[in-house]
Structure 1
Amino acid sequence: MKIILDTNIWSSIGDEGVVHEFNDLMRSCSLQVLMPPSTLVEVVRIPAAEVRQRIVHALVKGSKNRLPTEAESESNEVVDTIRKFRPQWMRRMPDTAKVASLNGFWTKRIWRAALEDSTPLYNYQLRHPGAQDYMVSQQKAQRKTLLRDQFQVRPLTALLATALPEAPESYIAGWSGSAVEPWRIESRDISWHELVDVAGPAMVTKEDATVADWVGAYVDLSQLRSDRADFTRLWVEDAQIEFMRRQWTRWAVRTMQTDRKVTNGNPADEQHSSYLVDCDLFLSADASYIAVLNAVREDAPFPFVEARLVSGDRTVPVLERIAAVL
C-alpha cells in the first residue's frame, strides 16, 4: 500500500528526530512512503532555519520514493489528451533533453541542495511568493457568494457551469454556453493562463513558466495558441475525466475548501491534493483538510484516496499518533 504524509506529520518527525524509527514502522506495516515535491516546497518556506533543516532531513531520509512534480503529472494529462484528440498540435520531435533536465532537478538536485543548505531555496521562495495570496482572496470572495446565495456544492458531480450573458466572445468561443461540468471550464482557464498568458511574456516578466516547459516539450505551443476556440472545445467536449483525475481532484478540493472557512493554507493543500491520485492512504493532523478530502472521496467519480486524521497532540510521540490510525 502506498502512503503520503501531510507536512504537519513530517514536521513532528523532524522535530522529534525519529526518522529512522519511522522508516522501521512503515516497513513493519508494509507501507511504501511516497514523497511529493510540494511537501519540500512548503517546508522550505519555514523562516526558522534550524527547524526547517530538521524537517528537510526527515523528508530526504524518510523516503526514497520521490514523485514527479504536480506540474509534470498534470501536464502529462494535458499532453496525453492533446495527443489523442489534437495530434496536429504535437511536436514532431519531443524535447527529451528538457524533460530529463526538469525531472532531474525535481527528483534529485533540489533534494540534495535542500539537505545541504535550504536557505537559498527559502530566499527564492521569499522572492517568488507565487499566486497564493491571490488564490486565498478569490476563495474568500467565492465563499461570500456561496453564503449569500445559500448555494450547495454537494454532490460535486451534480454541479454544472453555464456561460454568463456578459461573457466576451473570446472567452466562450468554442463553447455553446450550455451547462457543462465546471472542472472543465476552470481547468481550461488555468491551462490557457499557464500556456499563453504566462508563457508568452515569461522571458520579460520572469514569471514561472514551468507548466509551459513541460507541455511545450511535447506540444507545439504556437499551434495550441493559434485557435482558442478549438482549445476550449478540447476541454469542453473531448477531455475525459478518467484521464484527467488530477485536474478534477484539484477543482474538487478548491470547491470544497470554499464550503468551509478559508485559510492561508488552502493553496498548499490544494497543490498537495494533485499527488493523492498516486497513493492509497493519506495522513494529516489537519482536521479541516481531512474533512475536505473525505467529502471529495464521497463524490469522486473514480476511486479516491482514503484520508485519515492523525492526532495533533504533540505531547504524544508522533510515531504513537501515526500507529494509532494505521
Structure 2
Amino acid sequence: VDSEVVLNLIAYSARPTIEERVAEAVNQIKGAFAILLMTDNKIIAVRDPYGFRPLVLGKMENGWCVASESCAFDLVGAELVRDVKPGEMIIIDSDNSEPRSMMWAENKPAKPAHCIFEYVYFARNDSIIDNQSVYDARIQMGRELAKETPDIHPDIVISVPDSGTPAAIGYAMEASVPFLEGLTKNRYVGRTFIQPTQKQRANAVRLKLNPVRSVVEGKSVVMVDDSIVRGTTSGKIVKLLKEAGAREVHVCISSPPVTDSCYYGIDTSERKELIAARCTENEICRYIGADSLHYISLDGMKRAIDKIDPEGLCCACFSAKYPDNADSVIKAEPESIIE
C-alpha cells in the first residue's frame, strides 16, 4: 500500500528530527494525501500542497485531535478549530499547548485544488470542508439543477439515497414540487460505486434500493442522483421505478458528466469504462432507459460551492484539467511510477 512507501521514505531519511524526516519524505511524493503519523510522544499531520483531500484540526477539553472530516469531531465532543492548510504540517506534542505548524512544501502551487467531488459524493453531509458546509453545497446543487431544467414538470422529486438526497431536496425547494421518499435504502449494503466487479455492483443495486410503489406509481418522477460513472447503476434504478409503475422518470444529476479518470486516490475506473467519455448525453439517456437526462453545468456546480474560490477547485474528472499534470506523467512513465 502507498502508506508503506511513505513510511520507508521517512525511515531512509538522515535528517535529525522526525518532523524534518517527514517533510523530506512527503516532498518526494506527488498526488493527493492527508497523512497522520504517531510516534511515542507526538502526532504529526500533513496535507498535500494542493489540498486535494480534507484534513481538519480539532480541540478537545483535554487535548487536540486531527481528522479527515469535521463530522468525526462531533462524535468525540471536539470543536472544529480550522482546516489544515495545503502544504502544512501540524505537530501535536502536548495535551495543552497549541500545536506547532510548519509549511513543508518546497514547491507550493500558486493556488489550491480542493477535490470538488468531496462536495458531490465522498464527504458526509454533516461535514464542513475548507469552510464550506457539504450539506449546503448539495442543497444549492439541487437548486441550480432545477434552474437549469425549467422544461420538466414532474409530480414529485425523489432521490437516490443517501448522497443524492440533499440535492433532491434543493431541487424540490426551487421547483416547488413535493420531495418524497420514492426509494428505500437497505442500510446493510455498502456503496455500490466502489464494488470491485460489475457483477457485484449490479447485484448490490437491487439489494440496496427498493422503490415505494405507492409513492411513484402513475407519477412523473424527477430522480436526483449525485453522479453517473459507468451508467449501469442508474439504468437498474430507472428500471426498478418503471416496474413499480412510474409513468415517467427524468434523471437529474448534481454533477457534470464524469469524463476522465481520477489519479488522486479515487477509483473512478479507466477512461474507457466511464460512460460519459464515450457516449453523448442522449445516448446515455437511452442506455439507462430514462425519459430525459440532465446534468448540472460545471459553472452551476461551482456556484453551489460558494465559500470556495472556483479557481481553487480540482475538477479534473469533469474537465481533464489536472492541476499537477498527473495524466501526462502517468501516460508517459507508467512502469517507472509503479516501480
Output the TM-score relative to the length of structure 2: 0.27
Greater relative CO, 1 or 2 (CA 8 Å, sep 6+): 1
Higher strand proportion, which one? Answer: 2
Bigger fraction of residues in helix: 1
Compute the TM-score of the two structures, normalised by the length of structure 1: 0.28
Structure number with larger C-alpha Rg = 2
